[in-house]
Amino acid sequence: MATFGEKLCELMAERQISQRKLSNLVPCDDGYVSRLVRGLRMPSEEMAARFDEILGADGSLAALRPDPPKPKRSGAAAAGTVMLGINPDLWDDDMERRALLQLAALGMSAGALGSTGEPVRQLLALALNSEPRGVDEWHLTLADRLYAILTRPPAQARDGLMVDLVAAQRQIQAAEPGAPGEAIELRRIVAALSMMYADTLTRLGDHDSAIHWWRTAKAAADMTGDLDLRLMVRCEEAEFGLYGQRDPAIILQLIDAAERLAGPAPSCRKADLAGTRAKVLTLQGRHGEARAALDSFTDSAGGQARGGILPTHRSENVVHFTASWVHAGAGRESEADEKREIVLANTRGYQYAANVRLHEALCTVVNGGIDRGARQAAEILAALPPSRRSHMITETGKAVVRAVPVERRDRPAVRELCALTSSPHL
């Protein structure tokens, strides 16, 4: 009988699907697919079913996955937890103490964990499950967390990421003595989770904590030796710095450092850096240079294959969003309109849609329509539920205000917009 890996390889050949394409469809890391094919890993039941579904195997592929042995649980975890409403196999007082210490080491607070109203212990119990997740399950977790960031209020996305970071860090500590290869894979997971956590903190306007987590993500990525992952983290750090987190000159320094790390060869990450450079130059009013950087981004972004630990993290929509930003900032109305409509037709989340519509208001103000642009921006912000009015959205609203000459900011429409962008909203 064929093994799971052999059958997977056979089905891929029959369907003429490459490892990279299959990893994008799942989604998962293309290196993980390679390990499955070579029999170096066995997928979880959920992941086996996912491969079976994509390849149209009618259950024949999933059936080749053997049932894993059930891990033994420590008897010490059963004491004194029934009254907490938590599975006694997942918790004891010593585990709680160690988990809270670990939260502190990760820069997290118990108070933040309880921000959704769910008791801290119940959230931490999820991280203390004695059955560690396989790498494939972690990749599904990354896909789920990315979707949450794009579609849910940032405070909700933050709490889930906290729990996953604790769980991944504990699993690394358990894996390192006897399985260094697994520990490296888990560090890649931690780097990606830390990057998304910094992303979420930026959306919440917690810039100091976000900068701390960018450093954590870079350190975790650097320990893996994965150049693509190291560059991905640095691309995101520069990108999110645009939203009031860092001075534009510092962002340009981050871009320059990442480009030196990337080396001379073309790559999708270098293309992303060109796009961020175009945006920051727009913020500085250097519109000719910004357009040249945008042209470089547009020319190179489509020709570079995109894989890695988050293969669906960036899309062609980012190119159009960047173009909308750059053209709107320069007052190029027709070009900005064209790109905005493309983004609105293909956007995956509310944040892209809100920001690209704010670009339209910005362009209106740049071209002299101060009252109309300010009213339009205020209407966009006011229509969003407070929990979805992320810092990245309000910061784009502030860009509309900054485009108004100082001597004209006392106009009623501008004052209304100022009030919406400065009031507490999360």
CATH number, position 39: 1.10.260.40
Q: Classify residue 334: in a domain, yes or no.
A: no
Do 361 and 425 sit in the same domain of this protein?
Answer: yes
Of 49, 64, 79, which residue sits at a domain end? 64
Q: Classify residue 95: in a domain, yes or no.
A: no
Between vectors from CA 290 to CA 284 and to CA 291, what angle results, nearest 5°? 150
The model's pTM is 0.73
Q: Classify residue 97: in a domain, yes or no.
A: no
Q: What pLDDT was estimated at residue 268?
A: 86
Of 191, 225, 259, which residue sits at a domain end? 225
Torsion of CA 111, 112, 115, 120, to 10 degrees: -60
Do 53 and 150 sit in the same domain of this protein?
Answer: no
Do 123 and 217 sit in the same domain of this protein?
Answer: yes
Q: What pLDDT was estimated at residue 194?
A: 94
Q: Classify residue 296: in a domain, yes or no.
A: no
Do 156 and 221 sit in the same domain of this protein?
Answer: yes
Q: What pLDDT was estimated at residue 313?
A: 54
Q: What pLDDT was estimated at residue 76?
A: 30
Other CB atoms within 10 Å distance of the CB of residue 63: 14
Do 124 and 221 sit in the same domain of this protein?
Answer: yes
pLDDT in tens, the chain (426 residues): 689 999 999 999 999 999 888 887 887 777 788 888 888 888 888 888 889 999 999 999 999 987 654 444 333 333 222 222 333 333 334 444 444 444 544 444 444 444 444 444 444 555 554 467 888 888 889 989 988 888 888 988 887 888 888 888 878 877 756 666 778 888 999 999 999 999 999 999 999 999 999 999 999 999 999 999 999 999 999 999 999 999 999 999 999 999 999 999 888 899 999 999 999 999 999 999 999 999 999 988 765 555 667 755 566 688 999 999 999 999 999 999 999 999 999 876 788 899 999 999 999 999 999 999 999 999 999 999 888 889 999 999 999 999 999 999 999 999 999 999 985 443
Q: What are the start-end ranges of the H helices in 225-332?
A: 227-241, 248-262, 268-283, 287-301, 316-330
| Number of domains observed in the structure of the chain | 3
Do 129 and 53 sit in the same domain of this protein?
Answer: no
CA distance 121 to 183: 26
Q: Classify residue 272: in a domain, yes or no.
A: no
CA distance 399 to 244: 10
Residues 6 or more apart in contact with residue 148 via CB below 8 angstroms: 156, 157, 160
Other CB atoms within 10 Å distance of the CB of residue 319: 22
Q: Classify residue 201: in a domain, yes or no.
A: yes
Do 130 and 219 sit in the same domain of this protein?
Answer: yes
Do 136 and 219 sit in the same domain of this protein?
Answer: yes
Q: Dig out the tokens for 313 from the structure.
A: 């993290």
CA distance 38 to 87: 37
Return phi, psi of residue 327, to 5°: -70, -40
CA distance 353 to 339: 12
Quote the domain boundaries for residue 126: 118-225
Residue linked to tokens 């670990």: 102
Of 190, 225, 260, which residue sits at a domain end? 225
Q: Classify residue 350: in a domain, yes or no.
A: yes
Q: Classify residue 113: in a domain, yes or no.
A: no
